[in-house]
A and B are shown apart, each in its own frame.
Chain A
Amino acid sequence: MEQAEVRQKVLDIIEDVALDEDLSNLDDSVALRDQLDLDSMDFLDIVMELKKRHKIEVPQEDYPQLATMDSCVTYLTPKFNQ
């Protein structure tokens, strides 16, 4: 799976988790937390959705890898391709 596709999958999840947020101006290199109203509860949801939709497990110690969209894509692409 290409990185662009992985990005879209993550975006789909964030769209559902952060129901009322506008995602069109997302800066991929800036922490998601600083751009969107996301707290630890919401990051839990992103992790849970990755598992539910794509059977991808993110262990708790790897949560920091999900900080920005760029880091999400870098971290998740190999997992999507496993």
Chain B
Amino acid sequence: MPIPNIPVERSFDPQDTQYDAIVIGAGMSGMAAAIRLGMFDKKVLLLEKHIISGGLNSYYSRSKIPFDVGLHALTNFAQKKERRRPLTKLLKQLRIPYEEFKLTEQFKSQIHFPEVKLGFTNDIDYFIQEIENHFPHEKDNFLKLLEDIKGFNEVALDNPYQSAKEKLAQFIRDPLLQEMILCPLLIYGSAWEMDMDYSQFVIMFKSIYLEGFGRPEGGVRTIIQALINKMKEANVEVCYRNGVSEIIVDNNQVKGVITSRGQTITAPLILSSAGLPETLGLIPTETKTSTSPTPKTGKMSFTEAIYITKKKPQLYGNDQTIVFYNNSEKYNYRCPDQFIDPQSAVLCFPNNFKYQNNHQGPFADDFDQGVLRITMMANYDKWNEAKSIGREFYLSEKEKVNQKSLELLSRHLPHFDPSEITFKDIFTPTTVERYTGHFGGCVYGSPDKTRDGSTAYKGLVICGTDQGFLGIIGSMLSGISMANLYGLMGQQ
């Protein structure tokens, strides 16, 4: 099925110089925030420095093949009308009908360690059964952990930091099981190395193990198009290729911005999705009044290799949706010393979802071919250095990522034939930085989050990743909550 293209927008310059609110960044959180404000007649300007929307989860085409930048799977899957689910809340708040996201569920995924492989689906009972099979003595402990997680208010804006590893060890005795439970949650959302905040752990646990994975048919474009339509309806003015180069602050109060195209635009409220250190970096030093230390730049970035193959992964012998692979008993979630850490990876096969609409045939899905994606932890500094050494060196390092990824594919797809690769693309931490502006190409933001979105400056609010909710669904909810709190309820 052809994936519909999103028409390129061509407005660059704002029509006016005064707004009720300016939103920085047309990623998931920025678009959601702008829709909420626009829905209730606020005059909103959304400034995006890139030529298209989506941010960390955008899209592109190479050789006429449509690619998604991020999207492995949408976490927080929910059925239509399922109550109190983040997805249901978000759709309601944005008034988007459930059907519009065209969600399909995963087949099953796997946490793949040398001695043990644990499968999980969107049904937690399956995971419980898997744990019982492989760790019989831990089943009751896991059930107790589940109780704690279900009763925990992870979205309270004032939860103090608590180590997820320490908390997990209070329930689960076997270190291997601790590591295995943590693995997908870390790599799908931790800004901290080796551990994560327990609130974040609970958010991720619910979104992956309790709610599960889905995929919008048509990929991330389906979601972006739904958001663009809503922005039109809500009269949000969006300007592309026009980033914010300075945030104007006077006496601790935000006044407006100067855009990269040189206009001065005023507004009493600025919601920024650019990241916390990135946003504070837009305030000129002489007007900075806060003496608190600069928030740290996140260290976690990734490479991703994407292959288009003649056959689909099931024919190569793998029907998993996502494989969280780790080559030792311990999971080292951290920025590697080398360019990449090939000891662990995420393998994603977007063909392996339960596609329903408009597809025919035995492996009917979005794609005419197979799509194989391999993500590995990577060191931004190394890649950045490689870039400055020269293109040839950078490309030779990329080739090493290719080789490691192919090795992994051969291991996980018994009938894989590399000669059937028709196209490949590899992106690195410097690619992420170039297209999203996130310092260090970091994907999960700064380890210093501002849970209530506030900054030291009145009227300047952080939404998205650095407010603490991330992933596609999380970041949209963040944009919604921050717009509600600061733009509609009139706080601050």
Contact = CB atoms under 8 A, between A and B. Distances in A.
Given A20-B80, A44-B489, A37 B88 contact: yes
A48 B91 contact: no
- The bracket for how many chain A residues form the interface is 10 to 19
Nearest to A37: B83
A27 interface: no
A82 to B, nearest CB: 21
B88 A44 contact: no
A16 interface: yes
B81 interface: yes
B89 A39 contact: yes
Contacts of B92: 17-20, 41-42
B484 interface: yes
A41 B480 contact: yes
B80 A44 contact: no
Nearest to A44: B484
B149 to A, nearest CB: 20
Query: Which range contains the number of B residues in contact with the other chain?
Result: 20 to 34
B87 to A, nearest CB: 12
B95 A19 contact: yes
A41 B83 CA distance: 14
A19, A48, A52, A60: residue with the most chain B Cβ atoms closer than 10 Å: A19
Nearest to B481: A41
Interface string A12-34: 00001111110000000000000
B206 to A, nearest CB: 16
16 contacts: A16-B95, A19-B92, A19-B95, A20-B97, A37-B84, A37-B88, A41-B89, A41-B93, A41-B480, A41-B484, A42-B92, A42-B93, A45-B93, A48-B39, A48-B488, A60-B489
Interface of B: 39-41, 80-81, 83-84, 88-89, 91-93, 95, 97-98, 480-481, 484, 488-489
